[in-house]
Amino acid sequence: MSVPDDAVVRPGARQDEPLARVLGERSAAPLAKLGLRTAGDLLRHYPRRYSEPGTLTDLASLTVGEHVTVMAEVQQATVREMRSRGGAMLQAVVTDGSRTLHLTFFAKRRGALRVHEQRLLPGRTGMFTGVVSDYRGQRQLTHPDYQLIGVDADDEAAALVEASRPIPIYPASAGAPTWRVQRCVRTVLDPLTDADLPDPLPEPVRARRGLVGLREALGLVHEPYDDGQWRRGQDRLRFEEAFVLQAELARRRARTAQQEAVARPRVPGALLDQFDERLPFALTAGQREVGETLARELAGAHPMQRLLQGEVGSGKTVVALRAMLQVVDAGGQAALLAPTEVLAAQHVRTLRLLLGELAEGGFLGGADLSTRVALLTGSQGAAARRENLLDAASGRAGIVVGTHALLTETVQFADLGLVVVDEQHRFGVEQRDLLRAKAAQTPHLLVMTATPIPRTVAMTVFGDLETSTLREIPAGRSGVTTHVVPADNAAWVERTWQRVREEVERGGRAYVVCPRIEPDDEQAKGSRRGAGRHGDGDGADLLADDLGALDGSAADGGPGDGGPPARVLRSVVDVAAELRARPALAGLQVGELHGRMSPDEKERALADFASGRVPVLVCTTVIEVGVDVPEATVMVVLDADRFGLSQLHQLRGRVGRGSAPGLCLLVARAPEGTPAATRLATLAGTSDGFELAAADLGLRREGDVLGAAQSGATSSLRLLRVTRDADVIADARADARELVDADPELVGWPALRDAIDRQLAGERDEFLDRA
Ligand code: ADP
Ligand code: MG
């Protein structure tokens, strides 16, 4: 390799050298197609697996259409002229000992095939790579690229050594077979020294964890002599991935922690105390405990940064309200950010109900000590909006509830002291920050989520927040029983609607959830996105996310591999019409609720449902988040196999919230053994959100857990699996926090700083900010 004169400038600069310069345009071009442009990119392109020398690939596992690399033994090779088409064809048969795979080469003249004929001798073992096709029931590779073991090495001694080393297998692609990638890696890596590859992992951390240096680790994963070596290399690189991420999270956390915040200590005898006195129920032990933590942190001079996770129905709203009241008592305001207009409106209703006369500030007859709850949403009329804006800006409203509309520039606060984000997964940090920017000093922050997040994911995705958890559900709940109803079993489906009728006759209410709004809203993703554009989370939009996130269902059939034909999914409009005509439901009012209705219509539909005037509500997942109608006892989910596990869990959390037990019926087409069937069975089997979250994690693919940012070639997480590497993440976090506590801006660790910028640039906004 030639050393360009300008590459000597700065340690680490070698990583930035374009591959075209190091390897030449010809070798670099196919690598560029893999997204590998610099030396650093290539060095971080780790083998996907290692093939044990002498072990043949199981040919039974080959899938048509897939680009594969297999190790197999040549059984025979024959050349023949093709009379009909002219030209010649060489066909070799390779085997794994039981099954065979055909290799086919075509040429104009027989002579052109001689090279292959001379090399593909029976008994030789080689690596063959290409796209699997099917020719008359026989799997074959056409014009495969290949390399023979022990034959293509430089000399015999080298061949012997090579023949005993694990063979790195890189992700395969046409134009860049794994051995060519391997050769390029060697060309780039071999001349590099420790000095060329500054190590992001600080020496003390490496020493404590017994990890090798970066240069050594790269050598071990790319050019191992035995399995132990590549494992050691991977261990270190995996730790590095966790560490770089955790260092960035720790730095963010430290930065915010150093900011000043206005302390909002509890004021005895004020609103919060009066509220506690009026509360019709006793707080659960968990609510009390979390409440104390929040009270303490709000009284501190640095901003609280807390994530509150709690099972659906665990009573997070009361916890948040108490925190808000403490801030109001201390002279500040609180903003409650909700993901949908329905939810925002419901929050306002709930808060006003819970507060009673305490929320009648400024009204005749209000309590002496009281405040106001204002609502700001995008679709509000001008007059209402003006009044609410004034309430927020003047400080008359202690609590301002809203959707994204709260983030617009015209919204101002007199003294914003606390931001509460409900159901965090619809909000990015950017939005959080927009809201926080409306305060003179960084306000305290409480993020609430009903999706239980396994500890490792919480540490990875919300590493900058401290976590509190509400584990218990308030006493007096009877829980939800869940059953799967096969959609093609007419008798069971009929029974489902009878159950709905029985529940309603007993004073209950029924949700009927559909994946679509209108029958022709289908499959085109664009239209679903469109449906959610006005910022009001809507069923159709959520479903797009869900399927996009590959929550299982969409991937099952996978495009192009002959999955089941797309079926027409049930829609709110159709199902509502159908139910109105069903004898089992004769005489019952059937309502509709979805994101395409105006806010007023939605409001009315929900109110009619809550009051019992319209006891059956056909809706999209617009009700998924936080809708609270205690009388709702039964939920029927149609096309349940199209929903993700955590989403279904959220949905069923809408029933069984009162004293009557809940019933959730999942109507689905999910043949036994499919991932969808597994998902539904899992859901029916447990109501523990944490157990489900763990199961969900196991059922999903890694990339889907953390989002699409993880899957690209530039992703910083290659070896680390949040589903598997909990210990690594915990260790890395402890080390990173210690390091950052001692040196918040990482002044002493330029290589680490550099790695954060390199690896997390671009991705950081999407990935770290998923909170
Ligand atoms: P989530 O955590 O899902 O947001 P909510 O805050 O909506 O749950 O609470 C669900 C229901 O439980 C509400 O009707 C609320 O008033 C009620 N609730 C909250 N805390 C308690 C408690 N300690 N005892 C009884 N009911 C409670
Ligand atoms: Mg809630």
pLDDT tens-digit map of 151-182: 766 656 666 666 678 889 898 677 788 888 99
Residue 595 lies in a domain: yes
What domain range includes position 427?
271-299+313-449
- What is the rounded distance in angstroms from the CA atom of residue 715 to the CA atom of residue 723? 17
Same domain, 393 and 528: no
Strand order in the sheet with 480-486: 480-486, 662-668, 632-637, 509-513, 616-619, 590-593
Same domain, 376 and 484: no
- Final residue of a domain: which of 634, 656, 686? 686
Give the Å distance between the CA of 238 and the centre of ligand 1: 42
Give Cα separations from 433 to 357, 537, 631 (angstroms).
Answer: 33, 20, 37
Q: Given the CA of residue 283, which atom of ligand 1 is nearest to it? A: 23
- Final residue of a domain: which of 660, 686, 712? 686
Ligand 1 proximity of 472 Cβ (cutoff 6 Å): no
Task: Give the burial string for 378-395 (b: 16+ CB within 10 Å, else e).
Answer: bebeeeebeebbebbeeb
Ligand 1 proximity of 318 Cβ (cutoff 6 Å): yes
Same domain, 444 and 491: no
- What is the rounded distance in angstroms from the CA atom of residue 461 to the CA atom of residue 470? 19
The pair of three-digit structure tokens given for residue 631, joined into one six-digit string? 């009388």
The pair of three-digit structure tokens given for residue 700, joined into one six-digit string? 């999903």
Out of 219-223, 237-241, 257-261, 702-706, least confident range: 702-706
Same domain, 415 and 508: no
- What is the rounded distance in angstroms from the CA atom of residue 265 to the CA atom of residue 383? 35
The pLDDT value recorded for residue 739 is 96
Same domain, 289 and 423: yes
Ligand 1 proximity of 12 Cβ (cutoff 6 Å): no
Closest ligand to 281 CA? Answer: 1
Residue 750 lies in a domain: no
The Cβ-side half-sphere exposure at 268, using a 13 Å CA radius, reads 0
In this predicted model, what pLDDT tens digit does every residue of 471-485 receive, in sequence order?
Answer: 877 776 667 899 999
Whether the Cβ atoms of residue 270 and residue 329 lie closer than 8 Å to each other: yes
Same domain, 488 and 434: no
The pLDDT value recorded for residue 157 is 63
Looking at the DSSP bridge assignments, the partners of residue 591 are 617
Residue 697 lies in a domain: no
Do β-strands 138-142 and 125-135 pair in parallel, antiparallel, or remain unpaired?
antiparallel
The pLDDT value recorded for residue 153 is 62
Name the residue at shortest CA distance from atom 20 of ligand 1: 315
Task: Give the burial string for 616-646 (b: 16+ CB within 10 Å, else e).
Answer: bbbbbbbbbbbbbbebbbbbbbbbbbbbbbb
What mean pLDDT is predicted for residues 725-750? 91
- Final residue of a domain: which of 165, 190, 225? 165
- What is the rounded distance in angstroms from the CA atom of residue 645 to the CA atom of residue 626? 17
Name the residue at shortest CA distance from atom 17 of ligand 1: 315
Residue 65 lies in a domain: yes
**Structural domains in the chain (count):** 3
DSSP notation for 657-696: -SSSPEEEEEEE---TTSHHHHHHHHHHH---HHHHHHHH
Closest ligand to 473 CA? Answer: 1
Nearest to 331 by CA among 266, 379, 279, 280: 266
The Cβ-side half-sphere exposure at 381, using a 13 Å CA radius, reads 3
Give the Å distance between the CA of 359 and the centre of ligand 1: 19
Residue 494 lies in a domain: yes
Question: How many CB atoms within 10 Å of residue 256?
Answer: 18
pTM of the model: 0.64
Same domain, 387 and 499: no
Give the Å distance between the CA of 478 and the centre of ligand 2: 18
In this predicted model, what pLDDT tens digit does every residue of 244-267 receive, in sequence order?
Answer: 988 988 888 888 778 889 999 999
Closest ligand to 279 CA? Answer: 1
Ligand 1 proximity of 312 Cβ (cutoff 6 Å): yes
Ligand 1 proximity of 291 Cβ (cutoff 6 Å): no
Give the Å distance between the CA of 355 and the centre of ligand 1: 14
Confidence tier at 565 by pLDDT (50, 70, 90):
low
Mapped to the 3 state alphabet, what secondary structure does 398-439 carry? EEEEECHHHHCCCCCCCCEEEEEECCHHHCCHHHHHHHHCCC
CATH of the domain at 125: 2.40.50.140
Best of 312, 321, 420, 628 for a ligand 1 pocket test (most atoms within 8 Å of beta carbon):
628
The pLDDT value recorded for residue 558 is 32
Using DSSP, state whether 130 is helix, strand or coil. strand
Ligand 1 proximity of 679 Cβ (cutoff 6 Å): no
Out of 66-75, 103-112, 228-237, 523-532, least confident range: 523-532
Whether the Cβ atoms of residue 392 and residue 307 lie closer than 8 Å to each other: no
Question: How many CB atoms within 10 Å of residue 241?
Answer: 24
- What is the rounded distance in angstroms from the CA atom of residue 449 to the CA atom of residue 453? 9
Give me the count of residues in the chain: 771
DSSP notation for 328-349: HHTT-EEEEE-SSHHHHHHHHH
Same domain, 292 and 405: yes
Residue 606 lies in a domain: yes
- What backbone phi and psi angles, to 5 degrees, belong to 130? 170, -175
Same domain, 443 and 488: no
CATH of the domain at 407: 3.40.50.300
Same domain, 509 and 655: yes
Ligand 1 proximity of 130 Cβ (cutoff 6 Å): no
Same domain, 388 and 489: no
Best of 318, 347, 423, 470 for a ligand 1 pocket test (most atoms within 8 Å of beta carbon):
318
Using DSSP, state whether 297 is helix, strand or coil. helix
Give the Å distance between the CA of 310 and the centre of ligand 2: 9
The pair of three-digit structure tokens given for residue 730, joined into one six-digit string? 């915990």
The pLDDT value recorded for residue 514 is 95
- What is the rounded distance in angstroms from the CA atom of residue 602 to the CA atom of residue 402? 16
Name the residue at shortest CA distance from atom 26 of ligand 1: 474
Name the residue at shortest CA distance from atom 10 of ligand 1: 313
Side chain identity at residue 341, one-letter code: E
* Torsion (CA) 434, 538, 641, 646 in degrees, nearest 10: 30
The pLDDT value recorded for residue 687 is 78
- What is the rounded distance in angstroms from the CA atom of residue 511 to the CA atom of residue 482? 14
The pLDDT value recorded for residue 360 is 82
Side chain identity at residue 273, one-letter code: D
Residue 107 lies in a domain: yes
Residue 209 lies in a domain: no
Ligand 1 proximity of 657 Cβ (cutoff 6 Å): yes
Same domain, 594 and 489: yes
Whether the Cβ atoms of residue 638 and residue 680 lie closer than 8 Å to each other: no
